[in-house]
Amino acid sequence: METDVRSKQDRPGWLEASGLPHILRTLGLAVHPAKLGLAFAALFLTFVLGGVLDWIWVRADGGVDETAVSAFVTARQLDRPYTEPSGTHGVFRVFREHERRSILGFLGSSLPGASVAAGTPVGTYVELHSYAGSLQSLVSMAYGVLWMGRHHPFYFLLFGVGTLILWASAGGAICRIAAVHFGKDEKLTAKQGLSYARGKLFGGFVLAPCIPLAFVLLTAVIMMLGGLFLRIPVLGDVVGGLAFGLAIVGGFVIAILLVGLVAGGSLFWPAVATEGSDAFDSFSRSLSYPLSKPWKFALYTIFAVVFASLCWVLVNLFTYLALAVTRGVVGFGTAPFGRLMRDAAGVPIRKLDLLWPLGGPNSLYAWPEWSRLAGYEYISAALIALYVLIVIGLLWAFLCSFYFCASTVIYFLLRRDVDGTDLEEVQIDDAPAPLPAQGAAISGSPAPALASPT
């Protein structure tokens, strides 16, 4: 009887079992300066990589139209042939804008009760980004990747390998810092996180997401070879028909791997960062945990997505408020001394309005009309753009940091539910070695025996 009472007392309550208190900690984990700095650096380098590839591609092969991905999605949905529209934009630029709209649509549509704030800046912001449902926005993101892979395969290969290595380093470091922060309540530096990520880079962080893709590719190649054998007259019809059940099994295998990749893909790097394991152990854990506790995984994911959407809207609006206050106060100073009669209708315009267009929460920055600026005004406009874009970059860095921290927290919760592992348990392999006991030899050899006095 006493054992039953103790077991009931040890069971977590419904709030603890829901994981909500731990998921709410994600905001505090995400705003850690080391994580924000790593995410910002990774975003900057991703833009540099995409910009360099665009510069090469536009000059060598021509650009694409800014509506290329939207046209591809429409063609796929209507089952029509797709012809790539030519234009002047780079592949990365078109892909980036499509993914940005899809991400904002996903976050906007994931925020419940948005109609309560109708007519307010919050309601307007959410409404503009909730043009599609959450699932439709996720599918739209996948279409963007499919468009680049199908119609620009070599570009996709170069950009994919580069971003995988880049984000495996930064994302792995963020997950490591988040794991130690969440489990041990200790804050690592960005240097320590990167050092850990470098040690596990190719054998863990890079290889982990490649394993399910390699299995999918291998299974698909085997199934295609079976299709070639089926083309053989008589023998292929008989043997291929009898063995077609294996092809169906292969289809199930690919489907399971794809579902596992979508469901558990966000857990690959947290598994490596928490357990210090290799890619195969990470792949096994990341697939088995969501499949073992699917409803718990769905619950944790829904909580994390809703909380991320709320935090994103509030942080975005707060950033807009800070920039609007800055622009208003500084712009007031430029009004008496810098009113420029450059408007076509003869309306006076503040100098800061020319240097820094600001439309609202959905347009924190727009490039000025450089033709309307004097030569010396290029300097101030460029420096203002630099500072504002850094702020916008930190805003998106927060979203990236939140994603990796939330994935790490969900991994801890699922590991507790499936394996019964304490939330405080994190593999630490870089702890300082214990000091030798008093009187023990410093070296590994035993201490020499002292001669007894005669």
* Residue of higher predicted confidence among 360 and 375: 375
H/E segment holding residue 1: none
- Per-residue pLDDT at 170: 92
Q: Give the SS3 label for residue 284.
A: helix
Q: Which domain holds residue 414?
A: 310-419
Residue of 396 and 337 predicted with greater confidence? 396
Residue 251: phi and psi, rounded to 5, are -65, -40
What does pLDDT average to over the chain?
Answer: 78
pLDDT for residue 210: 85
pLDDT of residue 375 exceeding 70 = yes
Alpha helices in 186-243 (DSSP H): 190-199, 207-230, 235-242
Q: Are 173 and 190 in contact (CB under 8 A)?
A: yes
Helix ranges (H only) for 19-132 are 20-23, 26-30, 33-61, 68-77, 91-109, 121-129
Is 379 part of a structural domain of the chain?
Answer: yes
d(CA 169, CA 179): 15
Number of independent structural domains in the chain: 1
Q: Which residue has the higher pLDDT, 380 or 175?
A: 175
pLDDT confidence of residue 225 = 82
Weakest-pLDDT range from 101-115, 172-186, 242-256: 101-115
361 pLDDT above the threshold of 70:
no
Q: Report the pLDDT value the prediction gives residue 323, as an integer from 0 to 100.
A: 85
Q: Is residue 387 part of a domain?
A: yes
Examine residue 108 and state whether it is found in any structural domain, yes or no: no
| Cα distances (angstroms) measured from residue 162 to each of 109, 175, 190, 276 | 31, 19, 21, 24
Task: Give 363: exposed, middle or buried? Use CB within 10 Å, 0-12, 13-18, 19+.
Answer: exposed
Rounded to the nearest 10°, the torsion over CA 49, 53, 58, 60 is 160
Check whether 118 has a pLDDT greater than 50: no
For residue range 70-85, what is the model confidence (pLDDT) as tens digits?
888 888 777 788 787 7
SS3 (DSSP) at 344: coil
- C-alpha distances in Å from residue 76, one per residue of 40, 134, 150, 190: 34, 19, 12, 43
Segment 423-427 mean pLDDT = 81
Whether pLDDT at 445 is above 90: no
What is the CB neighbour count within 10 angstroms for residue 36?
Answer: 19
Residue 323 lies in a domain: yes
Mutual angle of helices 91-109 and 134-151, in 10-degree steps: 170
pLDDT at position 14: 63
Q: Is pLDDT larger for residue 42 or for residue 213? A: 42
**Is pLDDT of 122 > 60?**
no
- Residue 161: C-alpha distances to residues 18, 47, 208 (Å): 37, 14, 14
**46, pLDDT greater than 90:** yes
pLDDT digits (tens, 9 = 90+) for 297-306: 888 888 888 8
**pTM > 0.75: yes or no:** yes
Please give the average per-residue pLDDT across 238-255, as a whole number.
81
For tokens 């900057």, the residue is: 44
* Residue 87 maps to a domain: no
The answer as to whether 201 is a domain residue is: no
Could you tell me which residues come within 8 angstroms of residue 340 by beta carbon, excluding any fewer than 6 positions away?
348, 349, 350, 351, 354
Tokens of 329: 């106060």
Mean pLDDT, residues 123-136 taken together: 55
Quick: pLDDT tens for 397-411. Answer: 999 999 999 999 999
Determine, yes or no, domain membership for 399.
yes
- Tokens at 14, concatenated: 């419904």
Residue, of 107 and 148, whose pLDDT is higher: 148
Q: Specify the pLDDT at position 428.
A: 76
* % of the chain exceeding 70 in pLDDT: 80
Give the least confident one: 329-338, 414-423, 442-451: 442-451
pLDDT at site 11? 57
Number of H helices, E strands in the chain: 19, 2
In contact, 350 and 339? CB cutoff 8 Å: yes
Pick the range with the lowest mean pLDDT from 94-108, 139-153, 341-355. Answer: 341-355
pLDDT at 150: 86
More confident residue, 284 or 172: 172
User: Which of left, alpha, beta for 358 (phi over 0: left; psi -120 to 50: alpha)?
Assistant: beta
Residue 398 resides in a domain: yes
**Residue 440 reports pLDDT greater than 70:** no
Among 189, 180, 141, CA closest to 35: 189
Q: Taking phi first (over 0 means left), then psi (-120 to 50 degrees means alpha), and beta for anything else, what does residue 372 get?
A: alpha
Largest CA distance in the chain: 113
Across 191-200, 259-268, 443-452, least confident range? 443-452
Q: For residues 432 and 442, give the distance between their C-alpha atoms in angstroms, rounded to a whole number.
A: 15
Output the pLDDT for position 452: 40
- The DSSP letter of residue 201 is I
Backbone angle region of 62, left / alpha / beta, with phi > 0 → left and psi within -120 to 50 → alpha: left
pLDDT: is 168 or 278 the higher one?
A: 168
- The conformational region for residue 360 under phi > 0 = left, psi -120 to 50 = alpha, else beta, is left
